[in-house]
Structure 1
Amino acid sequence: MNRKKKLNKILKSRIKKMNAKKSPLSKEKYISKAERANIEALQNETENAQPIIDAQ
């Protein structure tokens, strides 16, 4: 009985791991500080560019 139980436990754990890899990620992809700064700078540029167009 112990051998069967041990094998079943191993197989169940493998199945669990495979299912976990298949499931969608709950966390967002990591974005470094430098990339966040670049994105923020681009957003600021676009925000600043829009009022200039409106003023003309």
Structure 2
Amino acid sequence: MNRKKKINETLKKRMKKANAKLNKSTKPRYISKAERATLDEEAALVAETTDVTSDAIVDSEIESAR
């Protein structure tokens, strides 16, 4: 009985590992602290440029309406 149990356990372990490899994790990818800092800087630059361009667009629309 012990031999059968041991064989079944090893087979179950192998099946579990194979299934784990097939099912990809939904956990998000790790982003390092330095990478997060650069992403924040880029986002800040993009936000600044969009503010400046949106202000310029609004100003030009106001002038064209006059």
Please report the TM-score for the alignment, with normalisation by the length of structure 1: 0.89
Q: Secondary structure at the match of 1:47?
A: helix
| Residues 1:50 and 2:50 aligned together | yes
Rg larger in 1 or in 2? 2
Q: How far is 1:47 from its partner?
A: 0.5
Map 1:1-56; keep pairs closer than 5 Å: 1-56=1-56
Specify every segment of 5 or more residues in structure 2 that has no aligned partner in the other structure, as ranges. 57-66
**% same residue:** 43
TM-score, normalisation: structure 2: 0.77
Deviation string for 1:11-39 (max 9, x for gaps)? Answer: 10110011112112131111000000011
Runs (5+) with no aligned partner, structure 1: none
What CA distance in whole angstroms lies between the structure 2 residues aligned with 1:6 and 1:51? 67
Aligned-residue CA RMSD (Å): 1.0
Distance in 1 of aligned mates of 2:51 and 2:20: 48
Runs of 4+ in 1 over 6 A off after TM superposition: none
